[in-house]
Amino acid sequence: MAADGRRIVPDKVIAQTFVRELKRDTLLAREPIQVKVDVGVVTLQGSVSNRLAQDRAVATLHVVRGARAIINQLSVLRRPRTDAELEVAIAAALESDPAVAEQPIGARAHAGVVRLTGEVDSNAAKQIAQNDVLGIPGVLDVVNDAVVQVRERSDAQLGEQAARLLREDPWVDASRVKVTTADGVVALSGRIPSAPERARAEADVWKATPLAVVAADLHIDRWTDDGTIRAEPAAFRSDRDLAQALADAFQRDSRVYPFAPHVSVRHGVVILQGAASDDRTRAAAASDAFNLPGVASVRDEVARPTDEGMPNARDRMAIEGVTAPPRTTAPPHMGVTAPQGATPR
């Protein structure tokens, strides 16, 4: 057992669980992702075909029990495309997706970064459109400025949006969940491994803005340990645990070491300080911090070699070729423990 009472998971088990989860995901099953685990610090390496696959691999690792820190060294295969070529590919991808087809979504590309504008009928459609674009080779990042305007749509499109979010949520094992729609109401049936996953499934479906969600026929199976934390109650990490895990990651990340940023954590907020020799090192350290399981947010105060024109952490990652973490919120059962004597958040 760890000092805070958590069970220590062997590195081999962490790796095996992650590989199994990769094989279950149709997007990731054929990607050449290599995983190395050392005292719970997981390093991902290899070249994946698109940015969506990179983001999904990191998100999938967050559900694996025992992953203390994540070093994302995955690279995205470069496919040089002009802005016009990307825009044509994006239009075709959005039009061919039944979840967002015929929605007035605009897309402009500049140097691999795509800005989405226009209107979508739900938060689900906004997320699906972004994922469609991130899955196109040559796209480096997406700025999603599409506006949600809830409006009536067909049951078929509503059901497609709901089913899509369930399939793509690594925090839900929806392999035995059936989605049906009628008159704007989404019904979930079948079996799901745990109560937290059932609640998460219902929350996913509500993002499609149905009139109602009915889950009376979605039954919870007897729990079996599959090596993930999907079914576990709120998993809190102390500030000391977060700081130690990040320090261990820095020592094992060849992009950062021998630079050792000063790390302090206050109520789950990681603060990085120090002076790096170059922007790529700074960006890698920020990436490790952003990807830390259980972190609330990151304040990157590491000084750069020159003081003028300092970009923020995400901009530096794009400039230096280090991929920024996906713009997603932490799962509802991830968090941190306030220091003794402090009021929990």
Mean pLDDT of 290-313: 78
83-148 and 158-220 agree in CATH topology: yes
Quote the mean pLDDT of the chain: 88
pLDDT at 259: 95
Neighbouring C-beta atoms of residue 73, cutoff 10 Å: 17
Mean pLDDT of 169-190: 96
**Binning pLDDT at 50, 70 and 90, where does residue 316 land?**
very low
- The answer, yes or no, to whether residue 48 has pLDDT greater than 60, is yes
Rg (CA), the chain: 21
pLDDT digits (tens, 9 = 90+) for 5-38: 567 899 999 999 999 999 999 999 999 999 999 9
- The answer, yes or no, to whether residue 326 has pLDDT greater than 70, is no
- The answer, yes or no, to whether residue 111 has pLDDT greater than 70, is yes
- The answer, yes or no, to whether residue 319 has pLDDT greater than 90, is no
pLDDT at 325: 56
Q: Is 207 helix (H, G, I), strand (E, B) or coil?
A: coil
Enter the CATH code of domain 83-148: 3.30.1340
Token duo for residue 188: 């979930």
Q: Which of these, 214, 191, 169, lies nearest to 62 by C-alpha position? A: 169
Q: Which of these, 65, 76, 41, lies nearest to 257 by C-alpha position? A: 41
- The answer, yes or no, to whether residue 163 has pLDDT greater than 70, is yes
User: Which amino acid appears at position 171 of this protein?
Assistant: W
Mean pLDDT of 330-343: 38
pLDDT at 80: 87
User: Which amino acid appears at position 153 of this protein?
Assistant: R
Instruction: List the domain boundaries for the chain.
Output: 11-77+233-337, 83-148, 158-220
Rounded-to-integer distance, Cα 295 and Cα 311, Å: 22
Q: Which residue has the tokens 């790390």?
A: 263
Residue % of the chain over a pLDDT of 90:
80
Q: Which of these, 117, 221, 228, lies nearest to 169 by C-alpha position? A: 228
> Which is higher by pLDDT, 324 or 335?
324
**Binning pLDDT at 50, 70 and 90, where does residue 223 land?**
confident
Rounded-to-integer distance, Cα 109 and Cα 100, Å: 19
Contacts (Cβ under 8 Å, ≥6 apart) of 220: 191, 192, 193, 194, 195, 198
User: Which amino acid appears at position 250 of this protein?
Assistant: F
Which fold does the domain 158-220 belong to in CATH? Histidine-containing Protein; Chain: A; (3.30.1340)
Mean pLDDT of 232-241: 84
Mean pLDDT of 78-84: 91
Query: What are the start-end ranges of the H helices in the chain?
Result: 11-24, 51-61, 83-96, 123-134, 155-168, 195-206, 239-252, 279-290, 313-320
- The answer, yes or no, to whether residue 264 has pLDDT greater than 80, is yes
Rounded-to-integer distance, Cα 345 and Cα 49, Å: 39
Q: Is 75 helix (H, G, I), strand (E, B) or coil?
A: strand
Q: In this structure, are strands 235-238 and 334-337 parallel, antiparallel, or unpaired?
A: parallel
Mean pLDDT of 205-220: 96
User: Which amino acid appears at position 134 of this protein?
Assistant: L
- Give helix 51-61 / helix 11-24 axis angle, nearest 10°: 130
Produce one character per residue of 246-266: b if its CB has 16 or more CB atoms within 10 Å, e if not.
bebbbebbebbeebebebebe
